């Protein structure tokens, strides 16, 4: 299971934000964002930003009535 912060980072990435943009929005360093992303990818068995997008779509993070985080 993902931590709240790992999910938060993945949601931002699913919306197309770069690691730098995610870091700025969440008040984290880029290295910290990369760490959360890597942990989340390992836990979910994902490998790429495309996988994150597909995961986000399946979880309802990205939909017509959803707003970006």
Mean pLDDT by 10 residues, the chain (69 residues): 96 96 98 98 97 94 81
63: left (phi over 0), alpha (psi -120 to 50) or beta: beta
**What's the confidence (pLDDT) of residue 67?**
79
Q: How far apart are CA 21 and CA 30, in angstroms?
A: 9
Report pLDDT for 64: 75
DSSP one-letter code for 60? T
Check residue 25 and give its pLDDT.
Answer: 97
């Amino acid at each position: 299971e993902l931590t709240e912060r790992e999910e938060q980072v993945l949601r931002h990435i699913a919306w197309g934000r770069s690691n730098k943009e995610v870091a700025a929005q969440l008040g984290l360093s880029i290295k910290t964002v990369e760490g959360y992303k890597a942990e989340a990818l390992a836990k979910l068995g994902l490998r790429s930003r495309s996988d994150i997008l597909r995961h986000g779509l399946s979880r309802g993070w990205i939909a017509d009535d959803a707003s970006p985080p």
